[in-house]
A and B are shown apart, each in its own frame.
Chain A
Amino acid sequence: GDSVTQMEGPVTLSEEAFLTINCTYTATGYPSLFWYVQYPGEGLQLLLKATKADDKGSNKGFEATYRKETTSFHLEKGSVQVSDSAVYFCALNSNAGNMLTFGGGTRLMVKP
């Protein structure tokens, strides 16, 4: 079955540091890939997405590139802010189905 593996957190960074959160996946066919962010006490918000190989999703300074050869979709940001502190989830949708399969989430803490 489909699965998503994320690096375990928490990830603790200082403000303006470079961020990478690793995500790899196993899926049939050519899945769509997503990153969601969950701020404390809130629901999940779509951060970015990529629907085919080599696509780069980007939003709010975050980027991720769909790498089919390595089955990866790593999240990056060049300079994090305290306000980026949240839990980040990588997810996939395969075979145009109804379900998003989520990774376990990675908590990011950014210190001033």
Chain B
Amino acid sequence: EAQVTQNPRYLITVTGKKLTVTCSQNMNHEYMSWYRQDPGLGLRQIYYSMNVEVTDKGDVPEGYKVSRKEKRNFPLILESPSPNQTSLYFCASSFSPDFYGYTFGSGTRLTVV
């Protein structure tokens, strides 16, 4: 089944403890992206990648890192999480966002205490 898989689905962590949210897609998509969803703010792009080793900032990149060492994987790294990063995170992938839009994963609900 074609899909974007994120792990974990739920995570509670403490301020300052480094964490990684994994994302993998099995559709051979070149484009991958991370979004966060917050009440009243909709979805905002954190980072995106056009291909292996090619990444760039979205609208809200502060406090996040990404890497794209393989085409299928695009992990999101929070080196020192803070409470304002408590959110619902979505990974997404696409052949061509302008024509196909993005295919989204099921989401990761992160709580930083």
Which of A's residues lie within 8 Å of B, judged by CB?
Answer: 32, 34, 36, 42-46, 49, 51, 89, 91, 93, 96-100, 102-105
Contacts and interface: CB of A to CB of B under 8 A. Distances in A.
Contacts of A104: 40-42
A29 B21 CA distance: 35
A29 B41 CA distance: 24
B104 A97 contact: no
Measured as residues with beta carbon below 8 angstroms from the partner, the interface class of chain B is 20 to 34
A46 B101 contact: yes
A7 to B, nearest CB: 13
16 contacts: A43-B104, A43-B105, A44-B90, A45-B104, A46-B101, A46-B102, A46-B103, A49-B101, A93-B98, A97-B98, A99-B33, A99-B48, A99-B58, A99-B59, A100-B97, A102-B44
Contacts of A102: 42-44
